[in-house]
Copies of this chain bind each other. A is one copy, B any other.
Amino acid sequence: MNKPIAASELIIINGRVYHIGTKADELASQIFVTGDPGRVDAVANHFDNIRSKVSNREYITVTGTFRGMPVSVMSTGIGTDNNDIAVVEAHACNAIDLDTRIEKDPTNVTPLTVIRLGTSGGPQPDITIGTLAISSYALGLDNTGIAYNFPPADQVCKDLNRIAYEMITAATPDGNYYRGWLRPYSSKATPEVVEALARQAQLKGFPHAVGITASTSSFYGGQGRQIPGFPLTVNDLPDVLERLRVGDLRVVNIEMESSLLFQLLTGVGYRCGTICPVIAGRAEGTFIEPDVKAKSIERTIEVGLAAMHDLYTKDRAS
């Protein structure tokens, strides 16, 4: 039989997983993730009721119901590395017995559905500030996802890996030490989650765009921001991302989390998707006004909640 997982590998203290701090019954099967801990309440304000609230480090998790659907919202902090922790520990709460430290029978485990509600920059001049970007694929310019032996989901991911690697290497001057070191990996959102998000954005009449999300491992150098004192390895990264094409697909936005979320969540058999307003215009050098930002984030939350409820209702009917 399965052996218990060692204490150093999966840390559980008083029935709670180490970083996110939840017990097994403090996470629903429907989970929203958001980078900013300050956004958790903005999502939870839409819930019918709140059953638990757990806070540790940058992880704040609120669980309740929305129109009768059990739902959680969790902040993860910025970046793929702390999102890795969020995914693995949410999976542990769902699929591992936290008392015995042994994996549950997979046939008795309900798959999670995870939707990221974030913010992002936009490399395309025609996808204007305030547009809701919905990710069908993610291009990982971080390297967190390659720690896991989940190969590319389909041919689009394989093409994206190759084309992005070639374009990024070509945009790196010969003399730069790390030329050729950035090796992008691609991952895929769950099509039914992408469709549910796009349908709800359409129904509500919110401008939106579906396509590839580039996920980076930094906000500054890794997104090609030029700050005095910090020389870049890759020149004009937003321009590279603007030009990149795989068939009809193009990059609709740039953020710091989706590559890893899709890689891990679909890898382990869960459903996932991401919706983020574009708040920085990288082609024009512009940034969203505070009131437009607040409205865009609220639209993201409304679409996310409606899409999650739609998926939940369909699950129950089938």
Contact = CB atoms under 8 A, between A and B. Distances in A.
B78 A85 contact: yes
Given A142-B143, A146-B182, A58 B80 contact: no
Interface residues of A, number: 79
Contact of A264 (B5, B85, B148, B230): B230
A176 B149 contact: yes
Interface in A14-44: 19, 35-38
Given A88-B230, A96-B228, A35 B8 contact: no
Contacts of A11: 280, 287
B147 A222 contact: yes
A230 B181 contact: no
B217 A147 contact: yes
Interface of A: 2, 5-11, 13, 19, 35-38, 56-58, 77-82, 84-85, 88, 91-92, 95-96, 103, 121, 142-144, 146-152, 176-178, 181-183, 185, 216-222, 225-234, 256, 264, 267-269, 280-282, 284-287, 290
Contacts of A218: 80-81, 84-85, 144, 147
B84 A81 contact: no
B220 A84 contact: yes
A146 B9 contact: no
A44 to B, nearest CB: 17
A36 B8 contact: no
A254 to B, nearest CB: 11
Give the 6 A-B CB pairs with smallest separation, nearest first: A79-B81, A6-B285, A147-B221, A58-B58, A84-B218, A77-B77
Nearest to A283: B8
B177 A149 contact: yes
A88 B146 contact: no
